[in-house]
Amino acid sequence: QVQLVESGGGLAQAGGSLRLSCVASGRAVSSYNMGWFRQAPGKEREFVGAFSRSAGVAEYADSVKGRFDISRDTAINTLYLQMNSLKPEDTAVYYCAAGTSLWIGTTQNDWDYWGHGTQVTVSS
């Protein structure tokens, strides 16, 4: 089992940047697919992107492709989400997730473990 704790959220202006961190404890991040989801008020939780444990590469939702970058540091068991060129529509609670499936799933049911989330607010 793995425990996930996110940090790094906050307030940013449109066009700005933030970096989120997700520290995992209990198991190595390399043991899981590691991903990020977000949930805006009144909306369902949506896939942002994920790092595949098998392929060693990241996949992204079309809405963030080219602006967001996911990386991991296995030495400190941490997953990152670098968010650039932020838009007001990126405002949401961002969640870190870990999963053991053979593929990168884009729905919540594809993931096994979740953090508590960190708020990101982008002002226009």
Write the pLDDT tens digit of every residue in 1-41. 899 999 999 999 999 999 999 999 988 888 899 999 999 99
CB 58, CB 52: distance < 8 Å: yes
Confidence tier at 109 by pLDDT (50, 70, 90): very high
Q: Does pLDDT of 102 surpass 90?
A: no
What pLDDT, on a 0 to 100 scale, did the predictor assign at position 27? 86
Q: Does pLDDT of 55 surpass 80?
A: no
Interstrand relation of 18-25 and 78-83 (parallel, antiparallel or unpaired): antiparallel
DSSP-derived 3-state class of residue 67: coil
Q: State the chain's mean pLDDT as an integer.
A: 95
Helix (H) or strand (E) holding 100: none
Burial 72-94 (b: 16+ CB within 10 A, else e): beeeebbbbbebeebeeebbbbb
